[in-house]
Amino acid sequence: NLTVIYYVTPTYPRPNQVPELTRLSHSLMHVPGLHWVVANDHDACDPRVHSILQRSGLPFTHISSPKPPQLNLLRLMPRGVTNRRAALRWITSEPRQGVLYFGDDDNSVDLDLFDEIRKTRKLSMFPVGLISEYGVSSPVLQGGKVIGFFDSWPGARRFAVDMAGFAVNLQHLAPAAAMPYKAGFEEDGFLKSNGFTLEDVEPLADNCTRVLVWHTRSVIPKKKQLKVHLDSDRLDKF
């Protein structure tokens, strides 16, 4: 019996949304036992996003989760938090078994990642490539146990990890688990709200020696640079 992976993807409307989700869907299509939870920062379920989900053939949940407008006033806007909170609400809305993973729409994954995160009994962690100055963010191990973190920005966090660098077994998701609206502290706040400690961390990816996910980012073309801004995935309207 294959453990289900709940792959939670926040996404938001911009010219790159459809291509990013198309690319990601073509990775996830190869993964058995995966349920894709896509939460869009938009006031309705976009038919273009829905079509990508349907064409993937994966079991999916499509959520409309627009961020509250006050968030735009913050100096550092917490990105994707409203979406992840909505996805967590859906996941905990009924008893479910499996593993929770947060994978942003612009990340790149190696398919081996899924064999790894499926092993998560409580809280697992592993390296993420292309993070800030150091180029990688990873747990640091001693004698097979996680004793700290290598990360460009430790930031007085208990868990100096990226959103893509951990997975949680739903059996250990606390009912009070919450992701804070605090840029830079989303991961740490979420993991602490679950009551996790460093002793809980199960290192994956060959004792954190393999990079199986990358924090890739793509350039968003400015609207005025785009002669045609696609409001549909078809050109016959133009």
Interface mask (CB under 6 A) for ligand UDP, residues 105-124, using x and -?
xx------------------
Q: Quick one: tokens of 32?
A: 């058995």
Rounded Cα gap, residues 212 and 116, in angstroms: 9
Active site residue 202: no
Closer CB to Mn ion, residue 133 or residue 199?
Answer: 133
| Residue ranges in 64-103 that form contacts with ligand UDP under rule CB under 6 A | 79-80, 83
Q: Which partner, ligand UDP, Mn ion, none, binds residue 41 by CB below 5 to 8 Å per kind?
A: ligand UDP
Cα 138 to Cα 181: distance, rounded to the nearest angstrom: 24
DSSP designation for 205? H
Angle at 32 between CA 59 and CA 120, to 5 degrees: 100
Place of tokens 């398919």: 111
Q: Which is nearer to ligand UDP, 83 or 138 (CB)?
A: 83
Which helix (H) or strand (E) segment is 50 a member of?
Answer: helix 47-56
Is residue 11 close enough to count as binding ligand UDP by CB under 6 A? yes
Rule CB under 5 A: say whether 104 interacts with Mn ion.
Answer: yes
Question: Of 20, 41, 106, 116, which one interacts with Mn ion (CB under 5 A)?
Answer: 106
The active-site residue out of 186, 187, 199, 202 is 187
Show the binding pattern over residues 130-169: x = contacts ligand UDP (CB under 6 A), - = does not: ----------------------------------------
The 8-class DSSP code of residue 46 comes to: -
Are 20 and 106 within 8 A, CB to CB? yes
Cβ distance to Mn ion smaller for residue 104 or 151: 104
- 7: Cβ–Cβ under 8 A, 6 or more apart, which residues? 28, 34, 35, 36, 37, 101, 103
| 101/92 Cα distance (integer angstroms) | 14
Query: Which residues inside 27-66 make contact with ligand UDP, applying CB under 6 A?
Result: 41
Catalytic residue numbers?
187
Q: Which residues bind ligand UDP (CB under 6 A)?
A: 10-12, 41, 79-80, 83, 104-106, 215, 217
Q: Which residues bind Mn ion (CB under 5 A)?
A: 104, 106
